[in-house]
Amino acid sequence: MLEIFSSDILYSSLLFCHFNLERGIVLNVEQSSLNLELRELVYSHMERHPKLSLNAIAKRAGVASTTLRRLMQDDNRSKVQAHVVLNLSSYILKENNIKNLINITNGCIQEELLSNFSNFIDENKKYTTDEEINYTLSDPVAYIIYKMAANHNGIHTFKINEMFGELGLSKLDLLMARDIVVNDDGMIHAKSKNFALDLQTAKKHLTTLSKFYKPEEVELDLNIMYSQSESINKETIKKIKDIQREASVKIHELLSDKNNWGEYPYFTINLGETLNFKNKREILQ
């Protein structure tokens, strides 16, 4: 099972900027073009479905309504996050397969999708993003059940009951009702074994996954954890991200090889970020 959490932003050596004399600011031409293409995509969808509001589109696409409204402002050139590009294009173009979605898009939208998700695409697997799955898996218990059901061997109902009790069984009923898992004589399997989640949902579950880390069992040689930090420049950040991308691809290859499949429901997290907050309200208490 591969679950995609990609938050890379397009950094190109061919990044062009121009100077706006009226405002006295530098505008990123690629970002401006990406915003324009996304606006045109949304406008064309609204023309075909005149009864749909921006709020309705945002909800169905799995993006924040405030984000979509900012995007639709003609003078808006703020950076659009990769998961917003993915969710909007996937919903409007009605394509949940990431490889197919990249193939049917073009221009800046295609470049953004390629930049963020191409490393996880191969000819033999299909990676899907779906607003129904994304919404349902916002619940942490449902998320863990689905995550384990997406492994090759699935998860047994006994294990769900052992881990979560009646709450887990009720979440399983929810997953069954929404037709995103199947019950094969007690073994629960996800219908989509390879899936992508909205980055905000993925962020929410970092805490969920961290609770499974068991430092007291380090002698079993089944877990690992490193935390490193330093104040560095952007070029060094790019080098570190390149190393992490390469590691992610190699890990993906190991996880996808059927010869490596076994009994341990293993997970990894590849994360790097700056220790900065957007505003004081986000400071940890």
How far apart CA 83 and CA 62 sit, in angstroms, is: 9
Q: Do 109 and 79 contact (CB within 8 A), yes or no?
A: no
Q: Partners of 189 in the beta sheet?
A: 182
188 domain residue, yes or no: no
82 domain residue, yes or no: yes
Proportion of the chain above pLDDT 90, given as a percent: 49
Q: What would the DSSP string read from start to end of 79-140?
A: PPPHHHHHHHHHHHHT--BHHHHHHH--HHHHHHHHHHHGGG--TT---EE-HHHHHHTTSH
236 domain residue, yes or no: yes
159 domain residue, yes or no: no
What average pLDDT does the chain have?
A: 81
Domain housing 254: 215-272
Proportion of the chain above pLDDT 70, given as a percent: 80
> Each residue of 227-260: pLDDT tens digit?
999 999 999 998 998 899 889 889 988 998 999 9
206 domain residue, yes or no: no
Last residue of a domain, one of 122, 139, 160: 122
Q: What is the pLDDT of residue 127?
A: 54
Q: What is the pLDDT of residue 249?
A: 82
Last residue of a domain, one of 89, 122, 155: 122
Shared domain for 114 and 224, answered yes or no, is no
Which amino acid would we find at residue 185? Answer: D
Rounded (5°) CA angle 35-49-91: 55
139 domain residue, yes or no: no
52 domain residue, yes or no: yes
How far apart CA 178 and CA 210 sit, in angstroms, is: 27
How far apart CA 41 and CA 89 sit, in angstroms, is: 8
Instruction: Determine the distance from the C-alpha atom of residue 63 to the mean position of all C-alpha atoms in its chain, rounded to a whole number.
Output: 12
Q: Count up the domains in the chain and report the number.
A: 2
Q: What is the pLDDT of residue 22?
A: 33
76 domain residue, yes or no: yes
